[in-house]
Amino acid sequence: MQMELAPPPPKQTKAPEETAATAVKELAAQDPGGRHICYRAFVSGTGWTDAVCDGETAGTVGKSTPLKAVNIAVSGTKGTTSRAYLPDPGSADGEGHYPDPFSDAADGIDNYVGSTKKDAPNLLGFSISVDGGAGNVCQNAHVHNDAWLGLQCDEPGVGLEFTYAGAHKNDFWIEAFQLTV
In this structure, is residue 13 part of a structural domain?
A: no
Strands 36-43, 47-48: pairing is antiparallel
Phi, then psi, of 177 in degrees rounded to 5: -155, 165
**pLDDT tier for residue 10 given thresholds of 50, 70 and 90:** low
Per-position DSSP letters for 60-125, written without gaps between them? -SSS---EEEEEEEEESSS-EEEEEEB--TT-TTSB-B--S--EEE-TTS-EEEE--STTPPPP-E
Q: Look at residue 67 and tell me if it is in a domain.
A: yes
The percent of residues in the chain predicted with pLDDT above 70, rounded, is: 89
* pLDDT (0 to 100) of residue 101: 86
In a domain, 14, yes or no: no
In a domain, 4, yes or no: no
CA dist 60 to 66, 123, 151, Å?
8, 13, 17
- The residues facing 130 across adjacent strands are 80
Residue 120 lies in a domain: yes
Output the pLDDT for position 39: 97
Residue 29 CB contacts under 8 Å (≥ 6 apart), including other chains: none
In-domain check, residue 152: yes
Single pTM value for the model:
0.86
Instruction: Report if residue 132 sits inside a domain.
Output: yes
Q: Which domain holds residue 173?
A: 20-180
Q: Is residue 93 part of a domain?
A: yes
The count of domains in the chain is: 1
Asked if 116 and 66 touch (Cβ cutoff 8 Å), the reply is no
pLDDT tens string 132-173: 888 889 999 999 877 899 998 887 766 567 888 988 888 889
